């Protein structure tokens, strides 16, 4: 399959809480010069990579960050840049402190990452579940338009040294907002969405399908940017629709199936406001 979409226009709000621990939980960040260097390097990396640092809490043996990222940026790459640059500068500037504490590096292996957003995950799920009635559709025929994955379990992915719970609310619209989808197409499309997720390392939690747009809640691996995830969804479902429903595409002149755009918002157990309140309380 040749991908139809290669770049997209996004609207987004992507917030991530990250937690790094020092090597063997040693008090490497307690000294003022260590904290000053950490703030400096974090600021430089965020400016260079265009991360938006929303909040920071530095303790003697760990650091907590709240970051806003772009859809093309993955959590794992962000962590690699942040931890790698801090570790490198500590080795150059504060090597005596590392030696004195018998530490090979500033950081322990791995990290904790959790998405957050305007609302929490349960509120986002309820919103997706309510979309058919929200748009005025009523009756038994609407039931197939709502999908809850009975096999979905969180965390959906396990990694060595990493705990990552990254949930996204995605919205994609049909080409020119044409009324393309119906209850007949929905079950097969939903099953295919599960297959796409298995291939591209995201898990489908639930879907709300409307004639001219689709809402999804998914959980993804940290190495997957949200734009890569959406591209996989749009390109693969376009291929599936062309194969199975070319008549409907021809009738509506909707061969692209989708608009080359999307909305993506992170959601999590806690809202961004709650995460910020927590960081300020422990700081």
Q: Are residues 107 and 192 in the same domain?
A: no
Q: Are residues 98 and 156 in the same domain?
A: no
244 falls within a domain: yes
10 falls within a domain: no
**pLDDT tens, 117-126?**
999 999 999 9
Looking at residue 221, its pLDDT comes to: 98
**pLDDT tens, 171-205?**
999 999 999 999 999 999 999 999 999 999 999 99
Note whether 90 and 98 are within 8 A (CB).
yes
Q: Are residues 130 and 201 in the same domain?
A: yes
Q: Are residues 160 and 250 in the same domain?
A: yes
**pLDDT tens, 215-247?**
999 999 999 999 999 999 999 999 999 999 999
Which burial class, exposed, middle or buried, applies to 279 when counting CB atoms under 10 A from its CB (0-12, 13-18, 19+)? middle
Pick the closest to residue 181 from 213, 149, 208, 206 (CA basis).
Answer: 213
pTM beyond 0.85, yes or no? yes
**pLDDT tens, 52-87?**
999 999 999 999 999 999 999 999 999 999 999 999
Q: State CA 220 to chain mean position distance.
A: 6
- CATH code of 277's domain: 3.30.70.1290
Note whether 21 and 62 are within 8 A (CB).
yes
Looking at residue 7, its pLDDT comes to: 84
**pLDDT tens, 32-48?**
999 999 999 999 999 99
179 falls within a domain: yes
Q: Are residues 240 and 142 in the same domain?
A: yes
Cα separation, 129 vs 123, in Å, equals: 10
Give the model's confidence band at 282: pLDDT under 50 very low, under 70 low, under 90 confident, else very high. Answer: confident
Looking at residue 1, its pLDDT comes to: 56
Partnered with residue 214 across adjacent β-strands are 172, 209
**pLDDT tens, 125-139?**
999 999 999 999 999
| β-strands 146-148, 202-210 pairing | antiparallel
8 falls within a domain: no
Pick the closest to residue 195 from 160, 252, 233 (CA basis).
Answer: 233
Q: Give percent of the chain above pLDDT 70.
A: 99
Range of the domain at 29: 16-115+273-282
Q: Are residues 207 and 231 in the same domain?
A: yes
Cα separation, 266 vs 16, in Å, equals: 8
Name residues whose C-beta falls within 8 Å of residue 158's C-beta, 6 or more positions apart in sequence: none
Average pLDDT (274-281) is 93
Overall number of domains in the chain: 2
- Residue 6 has a CB neighbour count (10 Å cut-off) of 8
Give the model's confidence band at 6: pLDDT under 50 very low, under 70 low, under 90 confident, else very high. Answer: confident
Partnered with residue 159 across adjacent β-strands are 162
Cα separation, 134 vs 150, in Å, equals: 23
Q: State CA 198 to chain mean position distance.
A: 16
Q: Are residues 69 and 102 in the same domain?
A: yes
Q: Which two tokens stand for residue 58?
A: 């530095």
Q: Are residues 110 and 155 in the same domain?
A: no
């Amino acid at each position: 399959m040749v991908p139809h979409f290669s770049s997209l226009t996004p609207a987004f709000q992507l917030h991530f809480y990250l937690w790094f621990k020092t090597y063997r939980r040693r008090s490497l960040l307690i000294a003022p010069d260590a904290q000053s260097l950490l703030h400096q390097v974090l600021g430089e990396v965020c400016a260079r990579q265009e991360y938006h640092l929303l909040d920071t809490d530095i303790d003697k043996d760990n650091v907590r960050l709240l970051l806003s990222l772009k859809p093309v940026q993955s959590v794992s790459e962000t962590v690699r840049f942040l931890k790698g640059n801090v570790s490198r500068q500590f080795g150059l500037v504060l090597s005596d402190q590392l030696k004195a504490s018998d530490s090979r590096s500033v950081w322990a292996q791995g990290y904790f990452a959790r998405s957050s957003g305007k609302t929490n995950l349960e509120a986002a799920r309820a919103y997706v579940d309510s979309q058919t009635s929200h748009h005025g559709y009523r009756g038994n025929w609407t039931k197939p338009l709502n999908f809850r994955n009975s096999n979905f379990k969180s965390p959906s992915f396990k990694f060595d040294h990493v705990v990552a719970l990254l949930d996204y609310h995605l919205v994609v619209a049909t080409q020119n907002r044409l009324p393309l989808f119906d209850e007949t197409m929905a079950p097969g499309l939903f099953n295919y969405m599960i297959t796409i997720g298995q291939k591209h390392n995201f898990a489908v939690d639930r879907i709300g399908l409307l004639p001219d747009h689709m809402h999804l809640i998914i959980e993804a691996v940290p190495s997957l940017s949200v734009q890569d995830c959406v591209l996989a969804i749009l390109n693969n479902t376009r291929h599936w629709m062309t194969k199975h429903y070319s008549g409907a595409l021809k009738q509506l002149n909707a061969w692209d199936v989708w608009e080359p755009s999307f909305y993506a918002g992170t959601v999590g157990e806690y809202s961004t406001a709650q995460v910020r309140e927590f960081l300020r309380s422990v700081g």
